Amino acid sequence: MLLGLPPLGVALSGETLAPYLEFPPVTRYVVQPPFSWPVFFSLALLPLGTVGLFVLWFRRSPVEGAAEPMVERRPFPWWGWLGVVLLVVAWVLAWTRFPWFAPWQPFTFSPLWAAYILVINALTYRRTGCCLLRDRTGYFLALFPLSAVFWWYFEYLNRFVQNWYYVEVTSLGPLEYFLLATPPFATVLPAVLSTTEWIATFPFWGRPRAGFWAPVLKRPRLAAWLALFLAAAGLTGIGIWPQYLFPLLWLSPLVIIASLQVLLGEETIFGGVKHGDWRSVLLPAAAGLFCGFFWEMWNYYSLARWEYAVPFVHRFQIFEMPLLGYAGYLPFGLECAVIADQLARLWWARGLRWQAGLGYGVIPGEDLKIVG
């Protein structure tokens, strides 16, 4: 379903699939409409309204339970300092053009994000004494190959809307392009999940709040079927009307997976919402936006980089990304959490339970040691 619906839309529109299968993607075949103020304001209402309501609810909802005792912070670990050094060196090399470094200039993105992952895990360890990298090493390492597949899927979806494209790829062959692109793609999930864990260490984000909005669906299966139908129709539609349905690239996969989980009787990352606990939604969304800022910033002066062509709203760029484009990082963070949740289920038999974007915990009722 996730793979077949966009090509189905192309077939229904009477177009040929050949341009969408070009690899590397070079041809620009989607004609993007110009900027439109009415569309800009209309699309801005949803993210601004949603964020505004959550900020208001958060400010009015007291933190549940007594204040946690202060935990003595650990020293910043040596591997964290290694990450800091690597980050500085990789950043300088990415944004400069030293002649002696020219053969390696296109490969700076992966070291940057490897360094980021080290540093963000070190910050989490300093605050809590544990982190994804150090204490759940097996799961952490498994995120890398999964992440590569995960982001290649979004590259596939982008073929149908062409909202971003890569420069300096016209001279690359298919294998060379694949080998060049896969390592940075492999850092996406480790970065977002590590950032989620770090954000959760702050009481403002990491503790539940009393009286927070707790929506309850009276007929969840019916709602899941309806959401599945609409999301599937939307994913099909991006192959027919990419200029108008492009936001569904970020929304439809999330809704499809969550709907199928409900229909199969599985827990979703939205499970805590019915109890007023929105951490499983807010934490990965915030992590996605946080990482998104660094993705865009480090991309801006890099040699191997991407640019955007977003219909109707392509204005007010922060780095290369149009302002409203950053809203896409919010559902993207949730999609990262959903995929991480699927991987984490493989660890359940070892006494670990993924708490929907919050990290690992021992399965309730069992005294099992957390292992990597």
CA pair distance 2, 157, nearest whole angstrom: 9
Q: What is the value of pTM for the model shown?
A: 0.91
Tell me the pLDDT of the chain (372 aa) as tens digits: 889 999 999 999 999 999 999 999 989 999 999 999 999 999 999 888 878 877 777 776 766 654 554 456 789 999 999 999 999 999 999 999 999 999 999 999 999 999 999 999 999 999 999 999 999 999 999 999 999 999 999 999 999 999 999 987 778 899 999 999 999 999 999 999 999 999 999 877 766 666 677 788 889 999 999 999 999 999 999 999 999 999 999 999 999 999 999 999 988 988 888 888 888 898 999 999 999 999 999 999 999 899 999 999 999 999 999 999 999 999 999 999 999 988 888 765 444 444 444 444 322 333 323 223
- The pLDDT value recorded for residue 185 is 98
- The pLDDT value recorded for residue 361 is 36
Closest among 110, 37, 57 to 316, alpha carbons compared:
37
Q: 78-95 and 109-128 helices cross at what angle (nearest 10)?
A: 150
- The pLDDT value recorded for residue 71 is 57
- The pLDDT value recorded for residue 224 is 96
- The pLDDT value recorded for residue 57 is 72
Closest among 39, 45, 293, 32 to 164, alpha carbons compared:
32
CA pair distance 172, 283, nearest whole angstrom: 38
- The pLDDT value recorded for residue 272 is 84
CA pair distance 23, 25, nearest whole angstrom: 5
- The pLDDT value recorded for residue 163 is 97
- The pLDDT value recorded for residue 112 is 97
